[in-house]
Amino acid sequence: MRGAPVDFDGVWKKFRRGERHDSLRDLIPATARRLLRRGPRPDLAASEFWAVRDISFSVRPGEALGIIGPNGAGKSTILKLLTRILRPTRGTCEVRGRAGALIEVAAGFHPDLTGRENLYLQGAIMGMRRAEITRKFDEIVEFSGVGEFIDTPVKRYSSGMNARLGFAIAAHLDPDVLLIDEVLSVGDVAFQERCVARMRTMLARGVPLVFVSHNLSAVTSLCTRAIVLARGQMVFDGAPADAVREYRGVLPALDASADADDGRDVPIRITGVDVSAPGSSPATVESGGELRVRVSYRAARPVDAHIAIDIHSADGVYCAGINTQMDGQNLGPLTGAGAVDLVIPRLSLLPGCYLISAGILDGRRLHALDVQSRAHPITVYSTRRDFGLVCLDHSWEHRLEVVTS
């Protein structure tokens, strides 16, 4: 749509793979080769690839667009194109007005400067005037919760404080367009709630929003529309709930096409993975609640195999890896079609978005026969406010020492 606040029109972006020439030693032979080689240059050299392929979308005032897709699908490239850090190889990309990017919110911070000095510097980098920063100063400090440490050099800040101060500055920019990249993982639950509230206020004022995230539940609750990317291409554009369904469909397809490439004879295949939790919508689990993962298979011939399940957090931390062999569970030779259920009675993960991988391993050599890597997202929710990845079963005991004088 012409004239929309965000307009992405037939955008392609090419990147070079591997090493660049960054010393003269490499430049001279490369230039010589280029001069000697006659004829037009090919469209895409062997070392190049398209990170974004022919993507078009626009965002209207008051609209919140979610962008989801597996790692390497081109989500971050799109955000960098929107923030004008990168320029499209083909097509046009336009953002009208001041773009507030909640991306790398503390990028301009210098460790030796105090919070106050950095606040003014970062504000100026984001395009705020001095008077504007001075006017909003107290509000920003209040929002960040940094409080009395505002005159301490930020090298003494925790990473959470850094990010909170950065986010607070970005959130007070009063942008015409808001661009967000996975910032909801910043800070504690209370701060996250404040961030979401702030985004909703801006959205209600008609500020369009582009939100890139792995957190599918945040996308469905915040966005009015979502697009799904896979390998640089847009595979879906529509309602967030449908997009999430589409996203789950895309992942196994990607793995299957990767498998098809090597063309080897596979004795057994995963035909489906179902993640469920009793009493809640699929793939949403309460911290400490039950989680079931059903791996369905079809074997071409009897095969001695084990089932493995891995859990990664959305930002890639390997949280858990379990398999039937380590548990001493003998499944016997798998024949025909069947399913194996993994039951986790108390899922001791803290709230967040996690990705489940399922694999069938060869019984003796333990190499993978078929894998669906990080294909199944689950969202864990809870009222607990612990920090970290896992919620440990715990209690406190306080012993008073009797002092005898």
The position carrying tokens 């957090």 is 313
**Nearest Cα residue to 189 out of 61, 350, 315, 316:** 350
Select the span of 18-26, 39-47, 210-218, 299-307 touching other proteins (CB under 8 A): 18-26
By the rule CB under 8 A, 104 interacts with other proteins? yes
Please, which of residues 303-342 interact with other proteins by CB under 8 A?
A: none
For residues 50 and 236, which CB has a smaller minimum distance to other proteins in the complex?
50
Here's the x/- map for other proteins, 133-172, by CB under 8 A: it reads as ----------------------------------------
By the rule CB under 8 A, 113 interacts with other proteins? yes
Select the span of 106-114, 279-287, 288-296, 325-333 touching other proteins (CB under 8 A): 106-114
By the rule CB under 8 A, 19 interacts with other proteins? no
Q: How many residues bind other proteins (CB under 8 A)?
A: 32
Q: How far is the CB of 309 from other proteins (least distance, A)?
A: 36
By the rule CB under 8 A, 239 interacts with other proteins? no
SS3 137: helix
Pick from 43, 112, 265, 397 the residue near other proteins by CB under 8 A. 112
Select the span of 53-61, 112-120, 259-267, 272-280 touching other proteins (CB under 8 A): 112-120
Give 114's DSSP letter: B
Residues recorded for the chain:
405
Helix residue spans in 156-266 (DSSP H): 159-171, 189-204, 216-222, 240-262
By the rule CB under 8 A, 124 interacts with other proteins? yes
Q: What is the rounded distance in angstroms from the CA atom of residue 268 to the CA atom of residue 280?
A: 32
For residues 93 and 340, which CB has a smaller minimum distance to other proteins in the complex?
93
Where b means 16+ CB within 10 Å and e means fewer, 178-215 reads bbbbbbbbbbeeebbebbeebbeebbeeebbbbbbbbb
Q: How far is the CB of 312 from other proteins (least distance, A)?
A: 25
Torsion of CA 114, 119, 124, 128, to 10 degrees: -160
Burial of 152 (0-12, 13-18, 19+ CB in 10 A): middle
Q: Which residues on adjacent β-strands are paired with residue 95? A: 6
Where b means 16+ CB within 10 Å and e means fewer, 56-86 reads ebbbeeebbbbbbbbeebbbbbbbbbbbeeb
By the rule CB under 8 A, 28 interacts with other proteins? no
Pick from 61, 108, 267, 288 the residue near other proteins by CB under 8 A. 108
By the rule CB under 8 A, 86 interacts with other proteins? yes
CB atoms within 10 A of CB 295: 22
By the rule CB under 8 A, 27 interacts with other proteins? yes
Here's the x/- map for other proteins, 268-307, by CB under 8 A: it reads as ----------------------------------------
Instruction: HSE, CB side, 13 Å, CA atoms: give it for residue 219.
Output: 30
Which spans of this chain sit near other proteins (rule: CB under 8 A)? 15-16, 20-25, 27, 80, 83-87, 101, 103-104, 107-108, 110, 112-113, 117, 120-121, 124-127, 129-130
